[in-house]
Amino acid sequence: MERRNFIKNTMAFSVGASTLYSAAGQFLGKQNMSDVIVGHGDYKYKIDMHWGSLNSQQVPVKNCHEMVQDSMGRIILLTDHTKNNVIIYDKSGKLIETWGTDYPGAHGLTINNEGGEDFLYICDNSLHCLIKTDLKGNEIFRLPYPKETGLYASEGKYVPTESAIAANGDIYISDGYGSQYIIQYNHKGELIRTFGGRGDGPEHFDNAHGIAIDTRNGKEELMITARKQNKFKKFTMDGKLIEVIDLPGAWVCRPVIHGDDLYVATIWSGEKVPNSGFVSILNKENKLVSAPCGSIPTYENGKLNPVYQTLNIFQHPHDVCIDEDDSIYVAQWNSGNVYPIKLTRV
């Protein structure tokens, strides 16, 4: 009964009246893609496929890995194309500037305001390090592989995917494609502790792909991805497991906290089916409330039923960035070199 009501109250889709599909399999009218509304419940969006499109000869992208918004409201995209690792847009999708030619494995992008100035933290898979830069691309420092932990026999075992910066300046790095440790440093880059790692326990990770500081409970906590396990794992700032959030079928990337909600690009669904991604939105209780381009979220006995893609708009969403209007910018990995897509909240 509970489930039925939920489905009934959750409109999955609506679409402009100009699009009629005939029984013969022919479109009667040209579908206007901007009419398509995706998402569920209170979280519905119009799609702008062309938001981030640029001249691919002049400003090429390979994988569009992550996006953040700076204090000036600009949207910053990180790609592993070394002609321009960093592409800065205004909110309308207009190109402002590009920089960065030295980051072949540019993967994780985190922004942190320090004393009124924004700084970027880039995790590079190929260089096996974290790079801190200012918004002009000047490098402040590099944090190399954490040899001092004694957990790493070689640099190659360390393939960091994401960083998160606490209010006190501590730097947390998730080694999501490497040995699955979470490594905590102080703001000077001195090692404080490690936790996580590979294993079968609830505190272990398989593909610790993303990490974020979650302040929704009025204090700082760490929300960390266990992507291959289709889970988020919440930890205290000193590495104690608090909670495991199960998202069966959803291969979640980096958690992005915005207001009372958690947004996340879901790169695959099901058994890692190619091109099966969508976007997921969790409320303050970490319940999936909307899955733009995914199936209607339903819970039974407090457990989420497996989720999957229903509309083939995204291929492999890799990160989301949420602006002050609650609109979502979606960056995609391995998706035919596409530029970011915008979902405008309606």
- DSSP secondary structure letter of residue 161: -
Which tokens belong to 133? Answer: 């830069």
Q: How far is the CB of 295 from another protein (least distance, A)?
A: 4
Q: How far is the CB of 320 from another protein (least distance, A)?
A: 18
Q: How far is the CB of 47 from another protein (least distance, A)?
A: 9
Neighbouring C-beta atoms of residue 62, cutoff 10 Å: 15
Q: Pick the binder of another protein from 114, 273, 287, 300 (CB under 8 A).
A: 273
The bridge status of strand 106-114 relative to strand 117-124 is: antiparallel
* For another protein, the closer CB: 21 or 141: 21
CA 68 from centre of chain: 10
* For another protein, the closer CB: 19 or 82: 19
- Residue appearing with tokens 């104690």: 240
* For another protein, the closer CB: 149 or 310: 310
Q: Is 19 in the site for another protein (CB under 8 A)?
A: yes
Q: Which residues ranging from 48 to 67 are in contact with another protein (CB under 8 A)?
A: 49-50
Q: Pick the binder of another protein from 84, 133, 315, 327 (CB under 8 A).
A: 315
* For another protein, the closer CB: 218 or 274: 274
DSSP 73-97: S-EEEEES-TT-SEEEE-TTS-EEE
Task: Lay out the site mask for another protein across 289-308 (x = CB under 8 A, - = otherwise).
Answer: ------xx-x-------x-x
Q: Is 270 in the site for another protein (CB under 8 A)?
A: yes
- Strand-by-strand arrangement of the 317-322 sheet: 37-40, 43-48, 341-345, 328-332, 317-322
Could you tell me if 177 and 161 are in contact, meaning their C-beta atoms sit under 8 angstroms apart? yes
Q: Which amino acid is at 176?
A: G
Window of 143-151, 237-245, 263-271, 318-326 that interacts with another protein by CB under 8 A = 263-271
Q: Pick the binder of another protein from 167, 312, 324, 346 (CB under 8 A).
A: 312
Q: Is 27 in the site for another protein (CB under 8 A)?
A: yes
* Segment (H or E) for 139: strand 139-143
Which tokens belong to 316? Answer: 């492999």
Q: How far is the CB of 250 from another protein (least distance, A)?
A: 13
Cα 280 from Cα 296, distance rounded (Å): 11
Q: Which of 74, 83, 77 is nearest to 103 (CA)?
A: 83
Window of 12-20, 179-187, 257-265, 281-289 that interacts with another protein by CB under 8 A = 12-20
Q: Which amino acid is at 273?
A: V
Which tokens belong to 3? Answer: 């489930």
Q: Is 79 in the site for another protein (CB under 8 A)?
A: no
Q: How far is the CB of 154 from another protein (least distance, A)?
A: 22
Question: Which chain residues interact with another protein by CB under 8 A?
Answer: 7, 11-15, 19-21, 23, 25, 27, 30-31, 33, 36, 49-50, 269-276, 295-296, 298, 306, 308-313, 315, 335-336, 338
